Amino acid sequence: MTQTIPPISPIPMQSYTEAVNAILNKPRFDMSRKLRIALYSHDTMGMGHMRRNLMISQALSDCNLPTNILMITGACQASAVQMPPGVDCVTLPSLQKNNDGSYQSRSLDIPLKDIKKIRAQIICSSIETFKPDIFIVDNVPRGALYELDEVLSNIRRNGHTYCVLGLRDVLDEPKRVQAEWHKAKNEKTVRDFYDKVWIYGDPHVYDAIQEYNMPDDMVEKISYTGYFDRRIHFDQHNKIMIKPSRTKLGIQEGRFVLCMVGGGQDGASLTESFALAVLPPNMFAVIVTGPFMPIEMKTELHRIAATKSDLIVFEYVNQPIHFIQQADCVVAMGGYNVVSEVLSYEKRTLIIPRVTPRKEQLLRAKRLETLGIIDVVLPDQVTPQILTDWIKKASQNSDSPSVHDQLDFKGLFRLPHLIREICQLT
């Protein structure tokens, strides 16, 4: 059976605020209080899910829609991030996903069943008390270790919360996704508990419906949002695009190449090769290790940086987008957020995709490489010399990839439209 891709609806050619105001003129929800939106992310490997939900929260907070937004996240780093107005967060005890796909406690030395119970109870209590009008779940329909089962059942029983499942553009290899979804009964979960499915991507890059052979009743719930344009980053008061000074970022003026490895849990090999690469004259390098990189590797990177005048190492930055914004070129792993960010700014980029425990990054990177938008090197092929050669070539190329001519990047504009659709149904 041939399944039709749900179209990405056009957006009025107005400013961000004007477009949102135009579509929110008659929302059908209780106007006696602000719309309550809760967002959940399990955050067991890196911080990508939390950062995506933060982007969504910012888009909804900045659009003049009267909201109270509660983020429920497994990334404790969320508490260090400056939240948009009307947004707050609850952090869960951290889980860590291992390379074999299993879970363990990231920090607490307690049994896995106990940390799961703690997390589930915090989620249940938060949702029961907050009473969201809309509950947006990131990527895992039943949550990590099925910790959302009770919450979803309670929501359906109470009947006043609209549930949305948000999926990134690529999940994993189709056969593996189909097997995992079958084992976890994810299709039944979506059928029974979710009203809408948002896919944060462009089907012309990766057609999730076709690739994963999604059933018709699930397809009916799907809306593609397009990718999130990370150039839309507004000052809380003036709604202008921010470009912090180099002094504020802690780096000097001049051309630089940026290396990013997400949370850093499995980025040690890439950062070491990058640190040992030879840079072109009048260029320096910046590494952001991420908070989860092993301490031994962080120590080694700082040791190498101490011997080189053209290398700066940061262990964690609140706003990595500012570094991407000012970099001349980027070397990075291939997570959804960092790829969206480098593409938003049309940076010349080399992606070294993670290949375990999932092939998600590899699949995304290969599709974008085929479009001529990025370069790709597999992890086992990375050496200091490979990076030296690529950086030299990228530094000599003044042309930026024509990303916005090829890909749909209107996701942050579309989110308020999708919220309006929900308000009409609730």
Going from N- to C-terminal start, the domains of the chain cover 16-227+409-425, 246-406
At a CB cut-off of 8 Å and minimum separation 6, what does 2 contact? none
* Amino acid 37: pLDDT: 96
Q: Do domains 16-227+409-425 and 246-406 have the same CATH topology?
A: yes
Q: How far apart are CA 194 and CA 177, in angstroms?
A: 19
At residue 25 the predicted structure's pLDDT band, cuts being 50, 70 and 90, is very low
Distances (CA, A) of 322 to 76, 164, 271: 21, 30, 20
**pLDDT class for 30, splitting at 50, 70, 90?**
low
Query: 98 vs 22, which has greater pLDDT?
Result: 98
Q: What is the pLDDT of residues 108-142, one digit of tens each?
A: 989 999 999 999 999 999 999 999 999 999 999 99
Residue type, 105: S
- Residue 355 pLDDT greater than 50, yes or no: yes
Assess contact for 112 and 105: CB atoms under 8 A. yes
Q: H or E stretch including 19?
A: helix 16-23
Give the residue, 329 or 64, on which the prediction is more confident.
329
Average pLDDT in the chain: 87
What pLDDT does 391 receive? 98
The pLDDT value recorded for residue 31 is: 56
Average pLDDT over residues 371-375: 95
Which of 40-49, 131-140, 223-232, 403-412 is predicted least confidently? 40-49
Report whether pLDDT(15) > 50: no
Q: What is the pLDDT of residue 49?
A: 79
pLDDT at position 4: 46
pLDDT value of residue 159: 87
Looking at residue 90, its pLDDT comes to: 94
Greatest CA span in the chain, whole angstroms? 65
Q: What distance in Å separates the CA atoms of residue 339 and residue 86, rounded to the nearest whole number? A: 28
Q: Coil, strand or helix: which one is 229?
A: coil
Q: pLDDT higher for 245 or 6?
A: 245
**Mean pLDDT on 371-381:** 96
Which pLDDT score, from 0 to 100, does residue 82 have? 74
- What pLDDT is attached to residue 80? 57
pLDDT digits (tens, 9 = 90+) for 164-198: 999 999 999 999 999 999 999 999 999 999 999 99
Report which of residues 153 and 3 the model is more confident about.
153
More confident residue, 401 or 30: 401
Helices (H), 29-137: 48-61, 112-130
With beta carbons less than 8 A apart as the criterion, state whether 322 and 242 touch.
yes
Q: Which pTM does this prediction carry?
A: 0.86
CA gap 401, 398 in Å, rounded: 10
Compare 58 and 368 and report the one with higher pLDDT: 368
Q: Which of 318, 314, 358 is nearest to 334 (CA)?
A: 358
CB of 221 closer than 8 Å to CB of 194: yes
Confidence grade of residue 420 (pLDDT, cut at 50, 70, 90): confident
Q: What is the mean pLDDT of residues 196-221?
A: 97
Residue 410: band (very low, low, confident or very high) from pLDDT cuts 50, 70, 90: very high
Residue 426: band (very low, low, confident or very high) from pLDDT cuts 50, 70, 90: very low
Residues 65-80 pLDDT 10s: 789 999 999 876 666 5
260-312, pLDDT tens digit by residue? Answer: 998 888 899 999 999 999 999 999 999 999 888 999 999 999 999 999 999 99
Cα 346 from Cα 399, distance rounded (Å): 10
CA separation, residue 411 to residues 55, 117, 168, 401, 415 (Å): 10, 35, 12, 20, 6
- Identify which has the larger pLDDT, 167 or 55: 167
For residue 145, which amino acid is it? L
When pLDDT is cut at 50, 70 and 90, the band that residue 45 belongs to is low
pLDDT of residue 206: 96
**CATH superfamily assigned to domain 246-406:** Glycogen Phosphorylase B; (3.40.50.2000)
Percent of the chain with pLDDT over 90: 67
Measured in residues, the chain has a length of: 426
> How sure is the predictor about 2, in pLDDT bands with cuts at 50, 70 and 90?
very low
pLDDT exceeding 70 applies to what percent of the chain?
87
- pLDDT at site 50: 84
For the domain made up of 16-227+409-425, give the CATH fold.
Rossmann fold (3.40.50)
Task: Give residue 47's pLDDT.
Answer: 65
